[in-house]
Structure 1
Amino acid sequence: MGEALVDRYVHFEDELSMIIEERGGTPESLTVEWVLEKLYALDLSGEEMKAAVEREMEQVMLRYREEVELPAEVILRERKASRPSAVQKVPVSLSGNNGYDAAFYREALDGIEVCLRQVAPPGLTSLVLRVSWPGDSALRNFPAAAFISSTDHNILVLYVGPYRPGLSAPGFYLVYDAWANSVEVVPQLPSHSVTLFSHCSIGTGVAVLRYSLPSDYVLVELLPHQDSRGLISNMATLFMWHSSGPFAGRWVQKEVVLPLPSEPEEHTSQPSYNFCADTVFAVGNICLCWVDLLQGILVCDYVLADHPEFRFVKLPEACSVGIKPDPDGGRGLPGQYRSMCCKRRGADHVIKFIFMHRHGQGAGISGVALSIWTLEQPCNKLSKWKAGRTSFGMSAILADAMHNHNLKLLPLTPSCPVVSMLHDDIAYISFDDMSDDFTEA
């Protein structure tokens, strides 16, 4: 079994727009530029111009719908009817009285095809969404891109649309099963359960845990409550969506306590908590880890428990960075020089933490070293971090890569180190002026 480096950036391909281009594109008389040029030639006053622009644009949009979009939609429906879907589309049964618009989610699912374009490492595999939503659908107002939030084995989850928990914006969760080649649309959290003023973001987005073979999963949103100052508190809500079982079809919420790092405040008895998850991953089929790459891991050993409990595992002392709460978010981009993952080792699991020492601290490439730490048996509360036997100098790694691949130009900056999930002696590193290339170390 091989591995794949997956690009978190998800591209969209709009089938309706592609058909419009096939038919010659948009006529010049239906473009904004043509309308404005025609009106400017009339030398109208300010109020007259404003009224004329509104009137003309309304007419142009109606004509565009009738002359361009509707004929393209006829062709699109014929093509969809004549070909089977490339993926299995799994409808979600919505339970509970949460005010979900079932028709909206059906239309979203019907108009999505998922394509996984695989490339062997060190190349990047990409996920592409081909959308075929009608021209007058609100779904077409979504941003034409997304990011994969979390993966576990064969399950990937991402947000589609501007929706995020607490924001009053349209969108949904998209779950893709690479083994079954199936896709599901999961609705938002109930709007009455979380608002912009009730909870905070934990940092990274929704997590996924595959808890049973082949594809039973649970989506998990961990959202800390805001305290009286509007800052993150150590009380949080776990929102969970089960793909099957008695809790399927609705978001279930549980209140939990988080052992977050904190700083005492001089003028108040309230501590200031500080934690920002850069990534989240599963350990086995019951444990989830939210990772602050500067401080440590928030571990939930049994996320499916009736009353889930959390513990905090600090990073190795040599790697931990004390960060005071900063409302301006001045923690930098630790994912540029650090990463963490869980690897299977026989029947056990280990957590690997890789970082580039002195990266971004003014040191040239000769001063940057690549180090790997291991946390064995991460579900054992007594486990300790162990340093790797060797620290690799980036200048030596780069010199070897340039020799082996006949590279002539020295890349500017190494970044985004990633440990191989299958091989203990392989890591992947990106270079800024080779954005599509990785070097094996």
Structure 2
Amino acid sequence: MGHSIVLFGRVVDFSFLEPATGGGGGELICSAWEGIYGLQSQQELRDAGTEYMGTFKASAVIADPPQLCSLRILVPTEYFSVPPPLQDMHFARISSADRHLFALRAGDWRPGSGMMDIGGYLIYDACKDSLSVVPKLLEDDFHAAIGCQSAVVMCNGDDGGYFLAELVWLRPKYSQAAIWLWKSSAPGWSLNPAHLSLPPGFCSSLSFSYRGSILCWVDLLGGMVMCDLGKDCSNLDRPELRFIQLPKDCPSYDSSDLCNRYHLCPEKFRSMACVGDTIKFVTMDGNVEEQGFALTVYSLLPDLSDWEISSKYNVENIWANESYQSTTSMAKIPPSFPVLSTHEDGVIYLVFTDLTVVDDPPHVSGWTGQRRVVFKSQYLVRVDIENNKVHCYPPTTDCSIDDYLLCSDFSAYRQCVQDHPREIEATEMVASGKRMKL
């Protein structure tokens, strides 16, 4: 039986819709923005951006491994007819996912970035292949962004409802955090009165929901913020906020050190996810030249009090595996970008990138002795720790996996595709490497 998983790249570029039929579309959109340069208030600018995002369409493009799956945001062909402030919104980034819902932040806007920045939130529903728009937070002098993956979506009920939450720093000290909450059934942002003291330099590397009532923001160098909305999400006015330290026995780093933050790139060797009903944390630590270079997986105890090691796997086992040796031409190259399967306990996906150093001739580099790193190939490898199995996918000559990946369980989505096959252009990514008909 094939083991299915969907891996998405987080960056979503905008594409153009087909030209409007019947003509006049460009004039209509242009007239909708006539006078935008005269807008004075923050509310007017926010409303203009929200209205423009309401014209977007979306679709999922699911690829066979080792290619990444992606979302496509389709904008009207009259894009160039809108004023430059809106043209600047040309991409989005996936912040989180829960079942069939994806939360994206469109444009360069971040909380606290400034009232003139155009942007907002998009919620993609894979069952309906549709987008809904959530306006950006109103800007003020009291809140600031706390990371790139700080918007958490959580399904609420079976009717398509959801919560969207944004974790922000409180200015001017940047020592406490607060949460803005949006509920789809009662639209409108509300700032929760509860505050939480956090370590200096906390930065949300990824976010997800847990147990249907808990929102999580993770700093892979510093720890995790949890916001418990209570049973059936009934405690919206006074949710419980708490900070969870990373496992005590895993290597620690000063998360307030900018050098660590930007040069270590924790996504390359750490990740965290909700696997079934358990939060798991994977880290790769050690020296490639030593026997101790291993994948260590920790599980958070049900009472959230501490971590315990659930499995440990020496990377030597991967290098020695027949699948690795027969598929790749690589030596002992260290893996990167670990991704925990969200519905297969003990399964981790890893990226192996084969690089080489070459000497440029004088006519290329301009001087002798110039050396540069050249990309050769890249491999996606599936490791089943519990059963000591390794599957190496065919190589790709494109360096496509160079950013943090998002793992999504599309079980609900697959059912919707079967019910409405014409609505979504996708096939499922399976470990056998074959395309699965839906």
TM-score (norm 1): 0.68
Partner of 1:38: none
Change (3 A) 1:374 1:413: same
> In the alignment, is the contact (CA less than 8 A) between 2:275 and 2:344 conserved in 1?
no
Partner of 2:59: 115
Distance 1:117 1:156 in 2: 14
Among candidates 426, 430, 435, match of residue 351 of structure 2? 430
- Considering only CA atoms, is the larger Rg found in Structure 1 or Structure 2? 1
1:375-421 Cα offsets, whole Å, 9 max, x none, are 142xx244x312124x2222321332654653223374410111112
> In the alignment, is the contact (CA less than 8 A) between 1:401 and 1:439 conserved in 2?
no
Give the letter aligned to residue 284 of structure 2: M
Superposition pairs for residues 248-397 of structure 1, below 5 Å? 248=187, 250-261=188-199, 273-302=200-229, 304=233, 305=235, 306-323=237-254, 325-326=256-257, 330=261, 332-344=264-276, 349-358=277-286, 363-364=288-289, 367-377=292-302, 380-382=303-305, 384-389=306-311, 391-397=312-318
CA apart distance, 1:156: 0.5
Partner of 2:421: none
CA apart distance, 1:179: 1.5
User: Which structure 2 segments of 5+ residues have no match?
Assistant: 26-41, 355-375, 384-438
1:341-394 Cα offsets, whole Å, 9 max, x none, are 0122xxxx1011111112xxx6448652111111142xx244x312124x2222
CA apart distance, 1:122: 5.5
1:189 pairs with 2:98: no
Partner of 2:422: none
Change (3 A) 1:425 1:322: closer
Partner of 1:160: 106
Distance 2:70 2:377 in 1: 14
> In the alignment, is the contact (CA less than 8 A) between 2:154 and 2:162 conserved in 1?
yes
CA apart distance, 1:426: 1.6
Higher relative contact order (CA 8 A, sep 6+): 2
Distance 1:364 1:173 in 2: 45
Partner of 2:175: 233
Distance 1:156 1:218 in 2: 12
Distance 1:142 1:388 in 2: 46
Partner of 2:366: none
Superposition pairs for residues 71-90 of structure 1, below 5 Å? 75-78=19-22
Q: SS of 2:225's equivalent?
A: strand
1:266-320 Cα offsets, whole Å, 9 max, x none, are xxxxxxx342221111002110111121232211122752112211222211115
Among candidates 112, 122, 130, match of residue 74 of structure 2? 130
393-402 vs 97-106, which moves further: 97-106
Q: Percent identity?
A: 29
Superposition pairs for residues 215-230 of structure 1, below 5 Å? 215-227=160-172
Change (3 A) 1:315 1:401: farther
CA apart distance, 1:243: 0.9
CA apart distance, 1:186: 1.5
1:105 pairs with 2:11: no
> In the alignment, is the contact (CA less than 8 A) between 1:152 and 1:281 conserved in 2?
yes
> Alignment RMSD, CA only?
2.9
User: Which structure 1 segments of 5+ residues have no match?
Assistant: 17-74, 82-96, 262-272
Q: SS of 1:222's equivalent?
A: strand
Distance 1:352 1:80 in 2: 53
Partner of 1:208: 153
CA apart distance, 1:79: 9.0
